[in-house]
């Protein structure tokens, strides 16, 4: 799913207001296959926004996989951390391929 500029504005505005009221201001970052990715919560419960620069384009994708958010920076479980990075990377690639 590709997020348009209009939807991105709405998501960011809602996320900012929710982050202020609930203290969910954390963004998590990781690198997988030389792609720097960031994942953050949206205002919709159970939805996360993944953003990255992939092949020179800014790409964003939505996911409902909470484990990707929870384990992206988790150093205690390397296998789960790698699975989370892989999930985010494949979502970015899928979004890039659909918006070509």
- Residue 82 pLDDT greater than 60, yes or no: yes
When pLDDT is cut at 50, 70 and 90, the band that residue 22 belongs to is very low
DSSP state, residue 72? T
> Residues 34-63: what's their mean pLDDT?
92
Q: What is the pLDDT of residue 73?
A: 85
Half-sphere exposure in the Cβ direction for 53 (13 Å, CA)? 3
| pLDDT tens per residue across span 59-79 | 999 999 989 998 888 888 889
Percentage of residues of the chain with pLDDT beyond 70: 75
Separation between Cα atoms, residue 99 and residue 15, nearest integer Å: 24
């Amino acid at each position: 799913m590709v997020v348009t500029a209009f939807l991105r504005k709405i998501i960011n505005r809602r996320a900012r207001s929710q982050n202020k009221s609930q203290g969910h201001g954390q963004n998590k970052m990781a690198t997988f296959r030389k792609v720097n990715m960031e994942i953050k919560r949206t205002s919709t419960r159970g939805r996360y926004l993944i953003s990255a620069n992939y092949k020179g384009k800014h790409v964003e994708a939505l996911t409902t996989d909470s484990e990707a958010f929870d384990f992206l920076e988790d150093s205690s479980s390397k296998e789960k951390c790698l699975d989370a990075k892989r999930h985010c990377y494949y979502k970015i690639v899928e979004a890039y391929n659909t918006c070509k």
